[in-house]
Amino acid sequence: MKRLEGRIAAVTGASQGIGLAIAREFAAQGAHLALCSVDDLADKAAQELAKEFGVKAFGMKTDVSRHEECELFIKRTLEDMEGLDILVNNAGVARDNLAVRLDEAQWDTVLDVNLKGAFFMSKAALKHMMRNRGGRIINMSSVVGQMGNGGQSNYSASKAGLIGLTKSLAREFASRNVLVNAIAPGFVETPMTACIKDDARQKALASIPLGRGARPEDIAKAALFLASDDSAYITGHVLAVNGGMYM
């Protein structure tokens, strides 16, 4: 028996990196997929995963920083898939700069996508999950939301905010059997981190006791655990998947 057989999972930021790895892992475990991304690639990913794993899937271009687009994505999920069991708020952007050089647009863009987007999606999904008396929400935080990082005050603030949002939603909706948890990855080899300069990359790797960056699949396995019945008594938790980078 597959661990997510027949369940409906919505994943944001699903066209590449961690989001795509999570979508693939969920599909391999029998979940039907609703995928979104800010570009047109989510639909391509959905078609490929549907063909490979024999599940139902669709992809939709969605800007998670816009409330109405989040509502539309969840509405289509409920109509096309006839339900929603799991929401993974993975969509994220970075606009790194020293705090004294960080402008308002860089701050707003990161907070709007990373934090506000997760709130908008959760709010839309929770309406259904409350009525259904069950569901899982997984928010993608970050090690820098726990420890901070120079040049990333906006990104760190957004990811720390996700931890607060996770714990608050977990308390609000536990009575309806909606479990809300977060994952805090460390340094992950993704398109987002591919542009990091080599000296910064080596410094980051040197701070990891396990001696390597994470693969997107490492994060996907953690998401599968939190989405499955194996985590039925866990809510409000932040699961660190960082190779020992922060303890």
The sign of the dihedral angle between the CA atoms of 27, 215, 242, 93 is: negative
Give the relative orientation of helices 104-111 and 153-173 as an angle to the nearest 10 degrees: 30
Catalytic residue among 53, 155, 173, 187: 155
Burial 225-247 (b: 16+ CB within 10 A, else e): bbbbeebeeebbbbbbbbbebee
Cα–Cα distance measured from residue 219 to residue 216, given in angstroms and rounded to the nearest whole number: 5
Cα–Cα distance measured from residue 8 to residue 190, given in angstroms and rounded to the nearest whole number: 25
CB neighbour class for 113 (10 Å; exposed up to 12, middle 13-18, buried from 19): buried
AA letter at 189: E
Query: Is residue 155 flagged as an active site residue?
Result: yes
Give CA 68 to chain center in angstroms.
Answer: 19
Residues recognised as catalytic: 155
